Structures are given as C-alpha cells and as structure tokens.
Amino acid sequence: MLNVKRLIVLSVIGTGISSITVQLVTIREFLTQFHGNEITISLVLFSWLLLTGLGSLAAKFFKRSSVTLYSLLILLIALWPLPQIILIRYLREAVFIHGVSPGFYQIFFYIISTIALYCFLVGFILPYALKVLRTGYHDFTSGELYITDSLGDILGGIIFSFILVYWLKPFKTIAATSSLLILSALLLLFLLRKHFLLIGSVLLISVFYLCALNTHFERSILSGQYGDIVRYLESPFGRIVITREGGQHTFWESGLPLYSDANVMNSEEKIHYPLSQLGKIGNVLLVSGGLGETLAEVSKYDPEHVDYVELDPYLTGAAQELGFLKKRPYLSIMNSDARSFIKGAEKRYDAVIIDLPDPDTFQINRLFTSEFFYLVKKILNRNGVLSFGMEYSPNYISEVRKQKLSTVYNTAKLHFRNIKVLPGGEAYFLCSDGKISTDIPSMLNSRSISTKYIEGFYYGNVTLERIKQLQESIDRREYINTDFEPRMINITFKEWFFKHGASPKAFLLIIMVIIVLYLISMKKEEYILFSTGLTAMGVEMLIIFTFQVIYGYIYLKIGLIITVFLLGLLPGAAVGNLYKGGLLIRLIVSDVILLCLLLVFFAWISFIKGELHQAYFLIYCFLFSFFCGFQFPVATRIIGEKTSPAAGCLAADLAGAAVGTLVVGTLLIPLWGIESAIIFLILVKISSSMIILFPRAKSY
C-alpha cells in the first residue's frame, strides 16, 4: 500500500497545482465576461472560498473512506474545469441579454452557479484524502496535509504566473495543469485493479484532451458572445478579440469594445476638440485609442511627434498586422502603462489626449484622479491641453451621471484654470490654463482642415443649450477623486445597484446571520484561524487594489500576488509544524506580529502614501502569509489530532477568507476607501488576540 500512499500525496500536490491554476483562469475569465471590474475579483474569490469551505465542512461528516471513490473524485476534479469554462462562456449569452451589463446579484449568482461543483469538490477532497491515508494506517497529520496542499498551490501559481499566462490559452492551460491529477487517478485505478473504471476513464480523458488542445474549438466557444471572430489572442494583460460584421471591424479588449472602424464621429471629436485649441503642434501624447482613423486626423495638424501609449503589445501588434495601425514618420508606439510613462516622461507635450472608457474600474480610475492630473500638468507645455471623454446622454443626465461628471470636473479643476465640457458623442473635457473656445468648426476652417462629421453636424449637436445644460449639471460641492479614496468607484458601486433597482442590504444581512451562527458553533482555535483567514484575504485584496492603483495592470500580476501569498504559507506551516510545546504562546506571538504588520500598512497608506517598488508589496505579502501559515498546524495541535481537526480548521480558515474577501474587496474599499478596510482588519485581529488571552472561553 506504500505506492497508494505516495500516489495520494502526489494527487494532493496535483490538486493544488490544478485548483490554483483553475482559480486564476476563472478570475481572468470573469474579468473578461464582466468588463474587468475589480469587484468581480472579490466576488469570484468570495464564492470560491465559501464553496470550498463548505466542501471541507461536508468532509467532516463523511465517515466512509474509499481509495476507489477518491480516485474517481480527483479524476472529476481534473476534467471538470474544461466544461466549467465552456459553461461560463456559453451561458453568459444564454442567461443575460446580449450587450446589457448585469447587476451585482445577477453576477454573484452566475458565479456561484458555474463554479459550485468544482469548488465543493476541491474543498472536500483535502480532508477526505487525510481520511483515506489514515484508513491505511499512515501517520499523516493535518499540518502535513496543509503543507502538501500549499506546495501544490505554489507550484500551480508559479507555473501559471511565469509560464502559462504568456504562452497558452485557457483550454491548453487547463489541459497542462490537470495532467498530474489525471496520471495519479489512472495509476490508482490500475493498482486497485479497477479495469472497467480504468477503461471508461481513459475514454473520458481522450475526449478531454481532444477538446482542450483544439484551438479552433476554443475560439468557436467565444463566437456566441463576439460573432465572426477574425483574430483571438490571450494576452497577459487581457483577452483581445477582433471581429468583423459586414465591412466593419471591432477590437474588443477584456470584453469591452475598444475600437470600431465605422466610428468616424469618435475619431474626429477626440482629436479636433483639443488640437484645434492650439497653434503650432509640437509633441502630442495619445493614451490609448490610436487605431484606425485617429492618427490620420492627428496628421492634419502636421505634428512634430506623437507618442502613442498602449499597455498591451499584443493589441498594437495585431492592429499593425491587420492594417489598423500604420507606421508614420512622426509616430512612436510605447507599450507601457500610461501613468508610469507620464511620470517618467522627459519631454513636454502640447496636448495629452486620453481615449479610455469611463473610470469604473480601479485600473482606469487611476487615470482620472487628482494625483494623475498633477502628473499630466507637469508634462504639458504652457497653455497645453488635456482632453478626455466620459459617457453622456444629451437628452437626460441622471443623478449618478451628474455625480460622475462633477467629481471628475472638480478633481481636474484643482490643477487647471479653465475647463470646458463639450456635449458630443461623449462629454468631452478640455482642460487647460489657456483660453478654450467652443467654436471648433470655425477654428478648423481657419486652418483649412476638412472633416466629415464636425463640418456637417457640430452646430446641430453641440448647441449652446446643451453646453449650458452640462455646465449646470456640475455640482461644485462633489467630492474629489483620489488614488486611495476613489470616489468614482464609490459612485459606480452605488450605480450598479441603482440601475437594477436592487440593494446590498438584504445580501449583507443574510451573510451576517450565517457568519454569526457559524461563529457560535466553532472552537476557540477555529475562530483564530477564521480571523487569520479573514485578515489574510483582506490583506490580499488590499494589495491587489493598491497594486492596481499604483501600477494599473492587475490582470497580469494577480497570479503573481496570489502565488507570493501561497509561497509564504508553506514555510510558515512547515515552521509551525516543528513545534510540539509552548503552542499557546507561539499562537499569541504570531497574532501580535500579524497585528503589527497591519499597523505598518495603515501607517504607510495614511501618512506616507508614496509609490513603492513592486518588491515591497511582494515581500509584505510573503511575511504576512508566513505567519498566517504558521498558525494552522499550531492550532490543529492545540485541538489535538485525535479529534480529526483538519476539516473543521480548513473550513474555518476558508470561511474567514471568504468573509475577508467580500467585506474588504466588495464593500469597504469601493464604498469607504482603503484606510477603512485596514482599520476593520486591525479590529478583527485585536479580537482574535483577546480571545487567545482568555483561555477559559469555550466557543465563539
């Protein structure tokens, strides 16, 4: 039976490799399906952790252990991720109306329903593996199980973050990372002489690999959402899909339409509104939106040089190959984060033109904050112009839309003396210290610049009445949008519920009742792990959101951040597993260290707020997760292995992590900012430290 033991241990590692990869692929999938809003990350992680915790809790009540059943379960865990991703893509169009943005509850229940089976099985299989091992009289502790699983998680995170995300599409990624589990399941069935099950498994596995490795099949699954796909790329920064409908091509990035070659109105407005305000054009900085006719419109001003900044080289590369981005003598294409580029720019510009969607995500919001406008002002020449657009309906401006326009206006007004908002296809903001004119056609006429849309339709659309309506909608008392107090995200979050006539109150009440009932039933040591799981995931969400604010490409780095958190858990658990005595003191010390680390983060975000190198975030992640990992084997030893604490402790840890993800990532940061989230985590850790110091308490 020694070979069986080795295969089970190997399968635990394989489960870690597969599950963390599937988690990261699923997060990226939902980010694409629901337009990249970081709150989606919180909802996915919350659902994932909650369902996994329920699986671990269910294992606590499952008495029968069978190696055959275990083999079939790990095979199902290996194969199911492929149908799961197919369902996520296919049902998106079947469940929701095409082109309509779903609300909070719709997204939440969609996530829950599509990942429930997989997450429950992953949560169930770890404590069940321990039961199977112990049935064979193998001395394997809960701490060793935690360490083995952590090793698999780390390997999965490293493989995905440093290799697979750059080279493989999701289906092939799943095929690669499921292979160890598949091999373990087949060998176990072979050793157990379950020949009928073995043959059936081989047939299923063959179908799995035929589908997963077929590039045409993977692309066809996306056609329901996008239509006729010309090009499909999985970039480290997002999903790029180029579609064709008749003679019109559309570029999609992470589920959002980025450019359409039939939108002449957008190309003319975003370029001529700002550039017509200037005399001789020297340097122009274009942040995104440089495809198609955009640069042709810029050429009419005979600029000295244009720097076009686009984060994703896959996007500009595909556009060049298909002829939507042509080489020009004055053009430099910079594949860089716009904010980092502007901060390090050595030249000065006459105009900075930003062509991005509304700041409804942290990634885009960081380009509409006071800190960003300050950086732009520094690189503009005297009387230079900053221009950007926001969604706008000329017939009705809702209260939420007024709040958004007012917030951005008031934020920009801190840095520019003159701001005009012109009502075009979007509400175009022109920001400058110089004079701004609204009579665009006459200025174009004086320079002999011809246009298709502006010449014929400007005076009919950009009327004095509409300009006045926009100006009067601005509330000068509205809050300022900053990096760490993102007012625009706050408004977006409220808009999310308002648009669908819903409220988060019922959802929060149900969650709170469930949490209180669960806390009442758990042991003191389980509450410690619950609070540690809560703060660990809370800090992980803080790092993800803070990293997004500073660097702006979380789609690429989320795998690295999660991997580093996992990387700290393994040595922490290994060190905690070494100790046999003085366990309570060690638990207290580790809790105090976690509290101190939270205070360090609070001090930085409240008083320093300086931009840190990425390495500092990663080191902080590692240290925090190290002491979180340290607590698990210590707590299980205090409870005692005879009571089989693995299922209860894993469930408490995962439930806490789910609550931390929901409260911090979905509520506190979007509604009240990062400082409030840290204060909440500090209070949670204080409560757990107090509970350790009162040993007479029985349950919490």
What is the rounded CA–CA span in Å between residue 54 and residue 42? 18
φ, ψ for residue 357 (rounded to 5)?
Answer: -65, 175
The model's confidence at residue 371, banded by pLDDT at 50, 70 and 90, is very high
pLDDT tens column, 535-586: 988 998 888 888 777 776 655 666 778 788 888 888 888 888 887 777 778 8
Q: Residue 696's pLDDT is what? A: 47
Q: Residue 646's pLDDT is what? A: 58
Give the three-class secondary structure for 435.
Answer: coil
pLDDT tens column, 94-150: 888 766 677 778 888 999 999 999 999 999 998 899 888 888 656 777 778 878 888
| Domains with residue ranges and CATH for the chain | 1-213 (1.20.1250), 261-484 (3.40.50.150), 504-700 (1.20.1250)
Strands 248-253 and 256-260: antiparallel
Q: Residue 640's pLDDT is what? A: 63
Residue 641 confidence (pLDDT) above 70:
no
Comparing 66-75, 117-126, 473-482, 489-498, the range with the smallest average pLDDT is 489-498
Residue 1 confidence (pLDDT) above 80:
no
Q: Residue 403's pLDDT is what? A: 94
Which pair of tokens denotes residue 65?
């252990």
The model's confidence at residue 697, banded by pLDDT at 50, 70 and 90, is very low
Length of the chain: 700
Residue 700 confidence (pLDDT) above 60:
no
Choose among 391, 368, 370, 371: nearest CA to 489: 368
Question: Are the beta carbons of 673 and 54 closer than 8 angstroms?
Answer: no
Ranked by mean pLDDT, the top range of 183-192, 466-475, 497-506, 639-648 is 183-192
Question: Are the beta carbons of 285 and 349 closer than 8 angstroms?
Answer: yes
Which pair of tokens denotes residue 387?
């221009």
Residue 635 confidence (pLDDT) above 80:
no
Average pLDDT over residues 586-610: 86
The model's confidence at residue 246, banded by pLDDT at 50, 70 and 90, is confident
- Give the DSSP per-residue string, 363-421: HHHTTSSHHHHHHHHHHEEEEEEEEEEE---SS---HHHHHHHHHHHHHHHTT-SEEEE
What is the rounded CA–CA span in Å between residue 449 and residue 275? 11
The model's confidence at residue 7, banded by pLDDT at 50, 70 and 90, is very high
Q: Residue 158's pLDDT is what? A: 87
State whether the Cα torsion 8-578-584-571 is positive or negative: negative
Q: Residue 166's pLDDT is what? A: 87
Choose among 565, 543, 507, 519: nearest CA to 687: 519
Which pair of tokens denotes residue 83?
């149908």
Average pLDDT over residues 415-427: 93
How far is the CA of 476 from the CAs of 42, 344, 407, 479, 628, in angstroms?
Answer: 33, 32, 8, 8, 46
Choose among 562, 586, 585: nearest CA to 573: 586
- Percent pLDDT > 70 in the chain is 94
Which residues contact residue 640 at a Cβ distance below 8 angstroms, ignoring those fewer than 6 apart? none
Which pair of tokens denotes residue 97?
């109306």
Comparing 285-299, 407-421, 644-658, the range with the smallest average pLDDT is 644-658
Average pLDDT, the chain: 86
Residue 359 confidence (pLDDT) above 60:
yes
Q: Residue 265's pLDDT is what? A: 87
What is the rounded CA–CA span in Å between residue 693 and residue 637? 18
**Phi-psi domain of 439 (left: phi exceeds 0; alpha: psi -120 through 50; beta: other):** beta
Q: Residue 33's pLDDT is what? A: 83
Q: Residue 137's pLDDT is what? A: 54
Give the three-class secondary structure for 178.
Answer: coil
Question: Are the beta carbons of 241 and 232 closer than 8 angstroms?
Answer: yes
pLDDT top residue among 340 and 208 = 208
Choose among 543, 496, 414, 467: nearest CA to 40: 496
Choose among 385, 381, 405, 379: nearest CA to 393: 405
Choose among 399, 570, 616, 405: nearest CA to 495: 399
pLDDT top residue among 536 and 517 = 536
Q: Residue 469's pLDDT is what? A: 87
The model's confidence at residue 2, banded by pLDDT at 50, 70 and 90, is low
Q: Residue 380's pLDDT is what? A: 97
pLDDT tens column, 203-243: 999 999 999 999 899 998 888 888 899 999 988 888 899 99
Residue 647 confidence (pLDDT) above 70:
no
Ranked by mean pLDDT, the top range of 48-57, 97-106, 369-378, 681-690 is 369-378
What is the rounded CA–CA span in Å between residue 245 and residue 229? 9
- Percent pLDDT > 90 in the chain is 41
Question: Are the beta carbons of 394 and 423 closer than 8 angstroms?
Answer: yes
